[in-house]
Chain A
Amino acid sequence: MSEGQGIGASVARKEDKRFITGLGRYTDDMKVPGMMHAAFVRSPHAHAKVNGVDKSAALEMDGVIDVLIGPELKADGIGDLICGWAVSSKDGSPMNMGAWSPLATDTVRHVGNPVAIVVAETRDIALDAAERVMVDYDPLPAVTDAVDALSDGAPQLHPEAANNLIFDWEIGEEQATDDALAGAAHVVEVDIRNNRLSPNPMEPRAALGHYNKAEDHYTVWTTSQNPHVARLVMSAFYNVAPENKLRVIAPDVGGGFGAKIYIYPEEIVCLWASKRTGVPVKWVATRTEAFMTDAHGRDHTSTAKIGFDADHKIVGLKVETVANLGAYMSLFSSATPTYLYATLLSGQYNIPNIHANVKTVYTNTVPVDAYRGAGRPEATYLVERTMTQAARQLGVDPAELRRKNFIREFPHQTPVIMNYDTGDFEASLDAATEAIDYKNFESRRQESRNRGKLRGIGMSCYIEACGIAPSAAVGSLGAGVGLWESAEVRVNAAGTIEVLTGSHSHGQGHETTFAQLVHERLGLPLDQVNIVHGDTDVVQMGMGTYGSRSGAVGMSAIVKALDKVEAKAKKIAAHLLEADEGDIEIENGELKVAGTDKTLPWFQMALGAYTAHNLPDGLEPGLKETAFYDPTNFTFPAGCYICEVEIDPETGKTEILRFVAADDFGNIINPMIVEGQVHGGLTQGIGQALLEGVHYDADSGQLITASYMDYCMPRADNVPMFEVSHQTTPCPGNPLGIKGCGEAGAIGSPPAVINAITDAIGTEAVTMPATPMKVWQAIRGAAMAQAAE
């Protein structure tokens, strides 16, 4: 660490000033001359035939520019939305993907499905006019639960997907796993329900589409985590425009959590509508629209069967999962419940045999895709609830059962693809149990009991796969894109630096951490380093931010580009200082000849590169280098979370008394920012465990939880101060030893909370979200069952 600004320093963020003074610039803050406003006409039905659309009443209104519908969009050649990751069924057949038109043409399949766009002079006129667009619907029966959707006689969504089955996929060896379970001394069976969530970044999605007729060129400002991917997909698959005619700008983006990875109908339609109407078109989602259209997360129904030998070593794990993918296949929806889920079912444990079967299903609900953690929270919840229930059934301490089965030698090949490169699971378990004073818990339980309260403790030992991902590996598994990252380091003529990154920051603090890396390498002050991202006309192709990849993959690309910059800078300095290139060292903003007092300030070297008056023979002027980094493996952040709760048996209300997080993220650039990521992730996981859940009415398919009145977001008084620590085993797979930290909190925390609640109340009969009513019912149910015995 140099001067307290380099790697390992908790530097306050460079980007903060604009946000704390109200000068952040989000998509809804953008105005362009002539801009008009859009509102979407959306289906009020979960499932219906669309017989026709009568625009006339809306078009008669003052201030309405136009009303556009699906058949017009199709006639202009705009393509259907697709899933970009091909996953096949176990019989080898390809996934059964149904058509998804950006504006519905003949059928709507979920409440909120867009049917038409209204463009008007103001937002209010657009909203009023949307009310006057008359859509002739024939309502059809709807199904919202994935298990129900697979049953005989269920309403059918897409002709391509018989019985609503998208694919029936498996991983691992079924026969070997069955044999292992048949020979096990103990088998524990668990039913697992992973509740459906809405990601809820605080900034609602938005798009401002602008077609420039003179240039035949499109620009869209949009709330995207990966603007280049948006451009590629809109260009190559949706026929909006060729890539060179389409500029995607993701300015300040107010949180993403996965929901802003995907390309949605609205940005496509705003761009198309801008060309059709000849005016720039801006749309901003209301919160209710966000609930009705942002891709949801989770929604798994599973059973797990785990077998142990007489010594309590795991011999096999068998999992059956039904995953709800909603009404249409979102961009990466097929990967989330397969390669991001079942490949993590080994958890932190040595499990010789694993088999998982995953059925993905269409239902009349919002599309489901990756939400913070994406498959890994589902895997962790299943494994960690199963381990705790097994410990209880076997009559052993949950910590000791885990300890006995930890993987201790690396690299470790699991039976489900992943090859764990490094880790020290016991170190995190020890740190967490020590921090919470695990061994003296029973006295605290007694103390609560004396006050009429039920106290419980629960743990979760999670592992996740991050830094996605080696391009060849994901390509072999069906991904339609590579998952490398790019960086360009531009040294300006006076020595200041711009780093153009394909990563996208929407809260992660890249403008600070990436600058810290440059400072570490070159010794330049942070204010001489600018991080540039989020504009496809400015930044080279990049893959964006999700899957905790910006440190492990994005920064590795910057390291590679910096290597090249340093090499050329040393050549120039050696020439100017009349020294050997190999003797040049870069330190504190200077280039030095090792072992001498000869130095050249960084800015003079840079100026020399650009004046080009005196460069080594054959060296090109200028100093700017680009690198693409393709990871060699996933990274494997892991850790142990322990939660202590107190429950009022009279109300069922759970209070989280303490929450301890012990994480191994590999090397850390900025501990303050990393801890902030953990706090946020933990709160989302606690939200899942205690508060949040998307609910549809089973009969009508209406979305019941479509506002903050009905969907319970975690508030400040739902969570405690978190106690966070780090145990570090550097990742051997990338130059900085980074594993990633963005999702861990959301992945590891739900089972810790539910294990604590079930410990407190003495019954497993609680599903997420464990609301006071559910907990109260579980306590009463257990008491009545006991009385009946």
Chain B
Amino acid sequence: MSEVTLVVNGRKVKRVVEDRTLLVHFLRDELDLTGTHVGCDTAQCGTCVVQMDGKAVKSCSILAAQADGSEVVTIEAADSGYDDLHPMQKAFKEYHGLQCGFCTPGMIMAGIDMVRRYGPGNLDEATVRQNLEGNICRCTGYHNIVKAILAASDEMAKSDTQLNEAAE
């Protein structure tokens, strides 16, 4: 057993967990954050993607004990810092980037991370498709997911520009 202390969605949590407990099960079973899903056993599907210390990770591939001391953000807090929803969440709705919703939290977290890595407004279709290699969707055929991520990236570039202009 290990004692782990981490900050999840801005809240400090401390628990004693089995050494083999995966971060995804810790989030779902211990913290009832069930928006993070489990869709496979082999780290392929990406329904479990969360942010750990600012970067997207597959929470099925990290032990809760490894996450000790880290800061984790799940889909439930993806909108923190925004008035309503994160632009990525808004775009998924506006562009019909989801159907059954099961892969959606992982897709949104992956999309947010893609914009972080490439910079807002710097994505194109081929890049988005290539970067979605680790996220499987069975409903949408990816068409509207790609459109949503591109639209959110452009929207985030716009608001960045506005912020920069306001700062100047």
Residues of A within 8 A of B (CB): 12-13, 15-26, 28-29, 31, 123-124, 200-204, 252-255, 257, 284, 286-288, 506-509, 672-673, 675-676, 679-684, 707-709, 713-717, 719, 721-722, 745
Contact = CB atoms under 8 A, between A and B. Distances in A.
Interface string B39-67: 11110110100000000000000000000
A631 B99 CA distance: 27
A297 to B, nearest CB: 13
Given A21-B75, A287-B41, A26 B102 contact: yes
Contacts of A31: 32
Contacts of A679: 140-144
B92 interface: yes
A12 B100 CA distance: 14
Q: Please provide the 5 A-B residue pairs with the shortest distance between their CB atoms, ordered closest to farther.
A: A22-B35, A19-B101, A254-B102, A507-B100, A683-B141
Contacts of B92: 16, 20
A23 B35 contact: yes
Contacts of B105: 19-20, 22
A709 B134 CA distance: 12
Given A22-B36, A507-B99, A673-B96, A202 B20 contact: no
A202 B138 CA distance: 6
A201 B100 contact: yes
Contact of B33 (A22, A287, A683): A22
8 contacts: A254-B102, A255-B102, A508-B99, A679-B140, A680-B138, A714-B142, A716-B135, A717-B130
Contacts of B100: 201-203, 252-255, 506-507
Contacts of A715: 129, 132-133, 136, 142
Given A287-B41, A707-B40, A709-B42, A20 B85 contact: yes
Given A708-B44, A716-B142, A13 B104 contact: no
B101 A254 contact: yes
Contact of B129 (A257, A509, A672, A716): A716
Contact of A202 (B47, B96, B126): B47
Nearest to A125: B18
B81 to A, nearest CB: 14
A745 B138 CA distance: 13
A720 B100 CA distance: 21
B87 to A, nearest CB: 11
A24 B45 CA distance: 18
A722 B136 contact: no
B45 A287 contact: yes
A21 B85 contact: yes
Contacts of A254: 37, 100-103
B23 interface: no
A188 to B, nearest CB: 33
Given A26-B37, A716-B142, 8 more contacts: A12-B96, A20-B101, A20-B104, A679-B144, A680-B140, A714-B142, A716-B145, A719-B141
Contacts of B38: 28, 204, 284
Given A20-B89, A20-B108, A22-B35, A507 B139 contact: yes
A124 B29 CA distance: 12
Given A716-B128, A716-B133, A719-B142, A203 B20 contact: no
A288 B139 contact: no
A19 B42 CA distance: 24
B76 interface: yes
A416 B89 CA distance: 48
Contacts of A124: 18, 20
- Which of B76, B132, B135, B143 has the most C-beta atoms of chain A within 10 angstroms of its own C-beta? B143
B139 A680 contact: yes
A645 B95 CA distance: 27
A668 to B, nearest CB: 14
A720 to B, nearest CB: 9
Contacts of B78: 21-22
